Structure 1
Amino acid sequence: MQAMESTEKSLLLGTPGDYRPMAYHEPFTDSYRGFDIELAWRIAAELGYEVVFKEISWDMLAHDAKTDAFDMAIGGISRTPQRKEELILSDSYLETGKTILCREVDAARFGSLADVDRPGVRVLYNPGGTNEDFVKTHLHHADCRYPGLHRSGQGGCHDHGDGGGSLLHAAGASSGRTAPGASLHA
């Protein structure tokens, strides 16, 4: 992987690398992939710069931007009122919503947000981003957590427990199964 120091002809690109298909870390090749990554390469090439990646986290995104930890961040970053107030954001080029990802055998159980927001249902989410805000705002009865997130190449967090849960994630951001009709918008 490239060094994390920015040079005069480098664009230091911050990305959590956990948001498939926008921007994800491919462990087999130790490289970043996704359509947001391709966009960053095109921007850098147009400017005559080389891309240098720096892993960042969702919960430190605004802080890292304010402290010049990177030149530009990319990877499925939503426009939120707080981010609009604190950061310089590009125009939106993709609109997504929330969706329920679950095991195929459980798809019939989770057709709506009400089906998810019940005691005994475990919901996993990535911390520090819009998924955490969504969970805290809309889910009050489910067991909501973010256990030991790690790069899996699958575009989300994984629970190593006994199963039986669902995962809230941005629409289209994982190769997992989606419950039929389960797109959620807040």
Structure 2
Amino acid sequence: MKKLLPLALLVAAGSASAQSHLDKVTQQGTLEVCTTGDYKPYTFLKEDGSYEGIDIAMAESLAKSLGAKVKWVKTSWKTLTPDFVAGKCDIAMGGISVTLQRQKQVFFADKLDTDGKIPLVRCTDVKKYRTVEQINKASVRLLEPAGGTNEAFVHAYLPDAKLTLTMITWVFFSS
């Protein structure tokens, strides 16, 4: 039930492919990075169009070490892996969970963080929602990003709760 949040750096599988990507990045001076921009503290797209977050800073540091600039490629949880596999970016970052399905298509760098699914609840309700059983009720409303591991978790472990899928995860704080 526990999911791993890796550094979330996906690189092309195979040494020839990885070398080709590295050459492209250093020659063009651009590191294209797929990110959802909706998963604080890892990746967040601000109103002014700039990104911030832990993984954003790491991508910028990586690009700098390669003598390159970052070009951000906006993606969604549903299209993250297909976008990466299609070559829309050189790497993908932003709190990406390691799953078997993703591992069949891409390579993950060493994980940076290990944690599980953690509910975010109002402070006044913290005692009401401490267990899966307390959350898995028809009277409980859940907001999750569409297409990611959080959605899969809800379908598997919280089928009785009312699920609302969103493409914009920061809407949680206003809903």
Into which bin does the TM-score normalised by the smaller protein fall? 0.7 to 0.9
- Show the 5 A alignment for 1:41-80: 41-80=60-99
Secondary structure class of the residue paired with 1:136: helix
Q: Matched residues in 1 for 2:134 and 2:57: separation?
A: 37
Secondary structure class of the residue paired with 2:70: strand
Secondary structure class of the residue paired with 1:118: coil
Q: Matched residues in 2 for 1:109 and 1:50: separation?
A: 47
Residue 156 of structure 1 pairs with residue 175 of structure 2: no
- Residue number in structure 2 paired with 1:24: 44
Q: Matched residues in 2 for 1:160 and 1:43: separation?
A: 34
Q: Matched residues in 2 for 1:82 and 1:16: separation?
A: 19
Per-residue CA deviation, residues 48-106 of structure 1 (Å, 9 max, x unaligned), is 11001111011011111111111111000111111111112111111121111122222
Secondary structure class of the residue paired with 1:14: strand
Specify the code of the residue in structure 2 equivalent to 1:10: T
Q: Matched residues in 1 for 2:108 and 2:58: separation?
A: 15
Distance change >3 Å, CA 160–CA 50, structure 1 → 2: closer
TM superposition shift of 1:159: 7.7
TM superposition shift of 1:30: 2.4
TM-score (norm 1): 0.75
Residue 136 of structure 1 pairs with residue 155 of structure 2: yes
Residue 125 of structure 1 pairs with residue 139 of structure 2: no
Q: Matched residues in 1 for 2:171 and 2:101: separation?
A: 24
Q: Matched residues in 1 for 2:78 and 2:173: separation?
A: 20
Kindly tell me the number of residue pairs found equivalent between the two proteins: 150
Report the RMSD for the aligned CA atoms in angstroms: 1.8
Q: Matched residues in 2 for 1:110 and 1:95: separation?
A: 22
TM superposition shift of 1:25: 1.1
Distance change >3 Å, CA 41–CA 90, structure 1 → 2: same
Secondary structure class of the residue paired with 1:70: coil
- Residue number in structure 1 paired with 2:126: 107
Q: Matched residues in 2 for 1:138 and 1:124: separation?
A: 15
TM-score (norm 2): 0.79
Residue 10 of structure 1 pairs with residue 21 of structure 2: no
Specify the code of the residue in structure 1 equivalent to 2:40: R
Specify the code of the residue in structure 2 equivalent to 1:158: F
Distance change >3 Å, CA 159–CA 36, structure 1 → 2: closer
User: Comparing both structures, which one devotes a greater share of its residues to helix?
Assistant: 2
Unpaired runs of 5+ residues, structure 1, are: 1-5, 162-186
Q: % of aligned pairs identical?
A: 31
Q: Point out the more displaced range, 98-107 or 48-57.
A: 98-107
Unpaired runs of 5+ residues, structure 2, are: 1-24
